[in-house]
Amino acid sequence: MDTDSEPFYRDVPREYDRYTPGLPGDVEFYVALAREAGSVVELGVGTGRIAIPTARAGIPVLGIDREPAMLEIAREKAEAAGLSDRLDLRLGDMRSFVLEEPVPLVTIPFSAFLHNLTIEDQTATLAACHRALEPGGRLALNMLNPDLQMIAKWNDLGPSEWMPYDGWDGYEEQTEFVRRGQLILTTLRAADEAGEWRTTTFRLRYVNRYEMQHMLERAGFEVESLMGGFAGEPITESSRHQVWVARRR
């Protein structure tokens, strides 16, 4: 297993919150699930964009991430909000985390699951979630839905061509889709104050809905719902996101 975090999260942790407002309705969706469960373990907790509002709602949160720079910001935000007693932040890996006792809810928001770059990594994460959950406990996660038009756009770019990175002012991207392995390899660049380019990278592994359903079922989950967005939109080929809720059998 590749145990290193993505360079992107080490290079831009202070810019991440400014440029990443999240998805419409995602915070409300995850907070509602956590309120129903009574507590939650959030994998890929990052800077606490979802964990902080969850803790603010009075719900105990255990947040796990493998990037210390992101966890440092989450701790600062939790302390500033007076939420440190409700938000337990730990360095760890979603593929191998172990809890002291089972929990009613595990979440993996904002496509963090796709940072598992092989089928083995993805199935290991689902197995770890299954072990962590109470019988009947829920796993909730969302991820990008494979976008064939975007893949074609990436593949049409020449090696010297860059395109604006969506939502990140001043950043440009070059992205390659590797069909073997379903990998998205993205390089970002932005000019610093001296006009010099600085670059960083991240990687994702696309998963289509049928592959995900198969992995969930093999890991011992029963799919409760699959949506194309957080307002309950039906999933279609043109949906930008997959939103899953599955229950441990």
Q: Is the pLDDT of residue 145 over 90?
A: yes
Query: What are the angstrom distances between the C-alpha of 53 and each of 24, 56, 107, 165, 210?
Result: 15, 5, 14, 27, 32
Phi, psi of 123 (to 5 degrees): -70, -30
More confident residue, 152 or 81: 81
DSSP count for the chain of H helices, then E strands: 8, 11
- Structure confidence at residue 156 (pLDDT): 84
- Structure confidence at residue 2 (pLDDT): 44
Inter-residue contact 41 to 20 (CB < 8 Å): no
- What confidence category does residue 4 fall into, taking pLDDT thresholds of 50, 70 and 90? low
Residue type, 214: H
Inter-residue contact 103 to 83 (CB < 8 Å): no
Tokens of 149: 């038009």
Rounded to an integer, the average pLDDT of 156-163 is: 84
- For residue 135, count other CB atoms closer than 10 A to its CB: 8
Closest CA to 56 of 26, 25, 35: 35
**Strands 133-144 and 241-248, bridge-based pairing:** antiparallel
Domains (range + CATH), the chain: 7-145+207-248 (3.40.50.150), 148-204 (2.20.25)
- Structure confidence at residue 1 (pLDDT): 38
- Could you give the dihedral angle defined by the CA atoms of residues 120, 121, 126 and 129, in that order, rounded to the nearest 10 degrees? 140
Rounded to an integer, the average pLDDT of 131-143 is: 98
Q: Is the pLDDT of residue 3 over 70?
A: no
Chain centroid to Cα 118, Å, comes to 15
Rounded to an integer, the average pLDDT of 167-176 is: 94
Rounded to an integer, the average pLDDT of 118-129 is: 98
Question: pTM for this structure?
Answer: 0.95
pLDDT digits 0-9 by tens, 178-227: 999 999 999 999 999 899 999 999 999 999 999 999 999 999 999 999 99
- Structure confidence at residue 158 (pLDDT): 75
Rounded to an integer, the average pLDDT of 58-81 is: 97
- Structure confidence at residue 153 (pLDDT): 86
Which residue has 């002291």 as its token pair? 100
The neighbouring-strand residues paired with 175 are: 186
pLDDT digits 0-9 by tens, 101-121: 999 999 999 999 999 999 999
